[in-house]
Amino acid sequence: MSDIVNTGALEAVGLEHRYGSKTVLRGLNFTVEPGQIYALLGGNGAGKSTTLGIFLGLVRPTAGRARVCGQEVAADPQAARSRLAYVPENVALYEHLSARENLDYFLTLAGSEQSAPSDIDAALEAVGLAHEAWGKRVGGFSKGMRQKVAIALAIARRVPVLLLDEPTSGLDPRATGDFNRLLDTARSRGVATLMVTHDLLSAAEIADRIGFLAQGRLEEELAATGEGRFDVRALHQRYARAGEAA
């Protein structure tokens, strides 16, 4: 197919976006490779949600291209969406169904072949949801448990790309640590993750690259280095400047 090109799992190429006369993205470029976690940081109104919306095919860019596994999103949003899982800030599940039943239901909706119960259990095991919760209604689940169900769905669908919107907001440090371990599991399976966040500490702990978005452009991109990963103090100073600029 002519729309498919060989690139990273997620690619923004010269993305521009205007809402009416307001320019929000001004030539945004970045790539997320398979097995990489990319954290996109920026102050309020920097254009992070707009960027996610473009990758989800909900916002059509004014110029430039967004690609998911080489598929240009605007050319075929459904084909692009079939390759990714989106985890919003608050995961919506069927409250009266159990974790297992939710997975079964969403897998059927996603058009997966008849999903074997063993695949569902393997996905729940992979994300570390406590066994006693598998058969319980999700109505009483915490935000962290809901995220585990959402990531289990991504694992069971075997999608190569994860898009996360503010995944750790409202999580306590322990749940944030659990969530980061989840992302690490997905990374070790080769999943490419783009996470939009204000949580600098969490990004510094788990991301391979951090991009600072300000005034619609990527002002700076930092790569993790070995064990220390990122200099958190320098990141804080950098982030404060991005906040000022936004």
Ligand X SMILES: Nc1ncnc2c1ncn2[C@@H]1O[C@H](COP(=O)(O)OP(=O)(O)OP(=O)(O)O)[C@@H](O)[C@H]1O
Residues in touch with ligand X (CB under 6 A): 19, 22, 24, 42, 44-50
With left for phi above 0 and alpha for psi between -120 and 50, is residue 13 left, alpha or beta? Answer: beta
To the nearest whole angstrom, how small is the minimum distance from the Cβ of residue 225 to ligand X?
27
CB closer to ligand X out of 160 and 216: 216
No. of H helices and E strands in the chain? 8, 10
To the nearest whole angstrom, how small is the minimum distance from the Cβ of residue 229 to ligand X?
23
Question: In sequence order, what E strands does 88-216 have?
Answer: 161-165, 192-197, 209-214
CB closer to ligand X out of 42 and 61: 42
To the nearest whole angstrom, how small is the minimum distance from the Cβ of residue 216 to ligand X?
8
Q: Give the separation between CA 146 and CA 148, rounded to whole angstroms.
A: 5
CB closer to ligand X out of 22 and 233: 22
| Residue 114 burial class via C-beta count within 10 angstroms: exposed 0-12, middle 13-18, buried 19 and up | exposed
CB closer to ligand X out of 28 and 124: 28
To the nearest whole angstrom, how small is the minimum distance from the Cβ of residue 212 to ligand X?
11
To the nearest whole angstrom, how small is the minimum distance from the Cβ of residue 146 to ligand X?
20
Q: Is the dihedral of CA 132, 133, 134, 137 positive or negative?
A: positive
Q: Which amino acid is at 242?
A: A
CB closer to ligand X out of 43 and 160: 43
Cβ contact 160:9 at 8 Å:
yes
The three-point CA angle 236-241-246 to 5° equals 125
To the nearest whole angstrom, how small is the minimum distance from the Cβ of residue 16 to ligand X?
13
Buried b (16+ CB within 10 A) or exposed e, 170-188: ebeeebbbbbbebbeebbe
CB closer to ligand X out of 28 and 183: 28
Identify the residue whose tokens are 């599940």: 93
CB closer to ligand X out of 11 and 166: 166
Closest CA to 196 of 90, 93, 89: 89
To the nearest whole angstrom, how small is the minimum distance from the Cβ of residue 161 to ligand X?
19
